Amino acid sequence: MDEQLTSDERRGAGGTSGGVPTFLLGVGMAAAGAFLLTSRVVVHTGGYRFWGFSGFGISLIPLLLGVGMLFFDGRSLVGKLLTFIGVVIIFAGILMNMDMYFQQTSLFATLMMLILLVGGVGLVLRAIRPMR
């Protein structure tokens, strides 16, 4: 256990000697680019519609039935399934009714955000690529 590691065994991310700093720089760049890009997005939601009608109330039925069945019998597989399906329907309805808008931004700022994002991803991929 007290053996000295050879230079081949001390390699960093992706098996390259300089892989760890490149990886960390890439993660930092990608995170900064993703943060700056997503901070310019505005999310707005309208009315909850289900086949053209206000359907939020009807989407609660499977959830409420499932929760009621779980209160009656905590091991009920049908209750767990209905609860899960109800939660999925509600989240799907919320996501389907969202509108996302990219705020007005200069071309330079947009390019910097995108370059940080894709450049960081490129550096991460380069750092974890196996050494040839």
pLDDT tens profile 67-97: 999 999 989 999 999 999 999 988 888 888 7
Q: Taking the alpha carbons of 12, 17, 19, 22 in that order, is the dihedral positive or negative?
A: positive
pLDDT tens profile 7-54: 555 566 655 555 788 889 999 999 999 999 999 999 887 766 656 666
The residue whose two tokens read 């490129």 is 122
Which H or E run contains 81? helix 77-96
Give pLDDT, residue 4.
58
Beta strands in the chain (DSSP E): 41-45, 49-50, 53-54, 98-102
Residues 55 and 48: beta-carbon distance below 8 Å: yes
pTM, entire model = 0.60
Give pLDDT, residue 67.
95
